[in-house]
Homo-oligomer: A and B are copies of this chain.
Amino acid sequence: MEDTAAASLPARRPVVALLLYPGLTLLDLVAPYQALAQSMDVHLVWKDLEPVKDDIGVEMLPTTTFADCPEQLDLLLVPGGSGQVEVNGDDEVLEFVADRGARARYVASVCGGSLILGAAGLLRGYRAATHWIARELLAAYGAQNINERVVIDRNRITGGGVTAGLDLGLVVIAEMLGEEIAKITQLRLEYDPQPPFDTGSPEGAGARLTRLVRDDFQAFVGQLADVANTLPERGWGRAREAVRV
């Protein structure tokens, strides 16, 4: 066989849906998108095809509606963002995530996207990662929080906050298409990170900076806890106990 990058690709490109929603954190979505889209067919799905605004104010266009999204996905991936409060209050979105997630070969999330998977009942009994600010919330969905960058438990692959989407994207490719394609993708993206500081985790950042950021997120985490508490009566998430933050 000829030794080319293309020679390592499967005959059929995997079919992927990335959930787009108002108030998502754009990098949660675009980091894995950039890795996955080199060797997979990627749909950006939302209720309709109108522009969707991220949590700062930039708009992207969905490519596919919930109704037109392939039923049998190789991968469903859900990003986080401040809009996840509204998403977890929206039965139409949770029904889409629960339906496609239950059938998908792999189900993944970046950052607070794991709370959306959890609300849709997809993380009950699974180990999972999320943004460090939201770790305590995972238990409400019957998931066990693991403080790792990327957590694989059977066919659920969940990542930590925002930039973890890059590591996760490459891990997903390695799982689905093998290490050769993942390694080539990493080289194409020149993913040889050199963070200027050691403050990317609470452990590295230390108590003072961690408290500053935690204070900034406090109201948001409270909103996430509030919406989590509405899920059982709405038939979602199977919260085992009320969430108090």
Structural contact, B170 and A196, CB atoms closer than 8 A: yes
Interface size class of A (residues with CB under 8 A): 35 or more
Contact flag A164-B190 (CB < 8 Å), given A5-B216, A57-B63, A212-B4 = yes
Cα distance A131–B195 in the bound complex, in angstroms: 17
Cα distance A59–B186 in the bound complex, in angstroms: 23
Cα distance A135–B131 in the bound complex, in angstroms: 36
The chain B residue sitting closest to A36, CB to CB, is B56
Structural contact, B26 and A34, CB atoms closer than 8 A: yes
Cα distance A190–B171 in the bound complex, in angstroms: 18
Structural contact, B204 and A192, CB atoms closer than 8 A: yes
Structural contact, B189 and A161, CB atoms closer than 8 A: yes
Cα distance A163–B162 in the bound complex, in angstroms: 13
Return chain B residues, CB-CB under 8 Å to A30. 26-27, 30-31
Q: Is A188 an interface residue (CB 8 A)?
A: yes
Structural contact, B193 and A200, CB atoms closer than 8 A: yes
Return chain B residues, CB-CB under 8 Å to A200. 186-187, 189-193
Return chain B residues, CB-CB under 8 Å to A59. 60-61
Return chain B residues, CB-CB under 8 Å to A63. 57-58
A44: contacting residue among B58, B197, B205, CB under 8 A: B58
Q: Is A176 an interface residue (CB 8 A)?
A: no
Cα distance A105–B64 in the bound complex, in angstroms: 41
Closest 8 interchain pairs by CB?
A161-B190, A192-B200, A27-B34, A193-B193, A191-B200, A30-B30, A183-B199, A59-B61
Extra 12 A-B pairs, beta carbons < 8 Å, given A111-B190, A170-B196: A5-B215, A27-B31, A37-B56, A59-B60, A160-B190, A160-B192, A162-B189, A182-B196, A182-B197, A186-B195, A186-B199, A187-B202
23 A-B residue pairs with Cβ-Cβ distance under 8 Å, sorted by A, are A3-B212, A5-B212, A26-B30, A27-B33, A31-B31, A44-B58, A58-B60, A61-B61, A149-B193, A149-B194, A161-B189, A162-B189, A163-B189, A163-B191, A170-B195, A182-B196, A183-B205, A186-B196, A186-B197, A187-B199, A189-B200, A191-B195, A191-B200
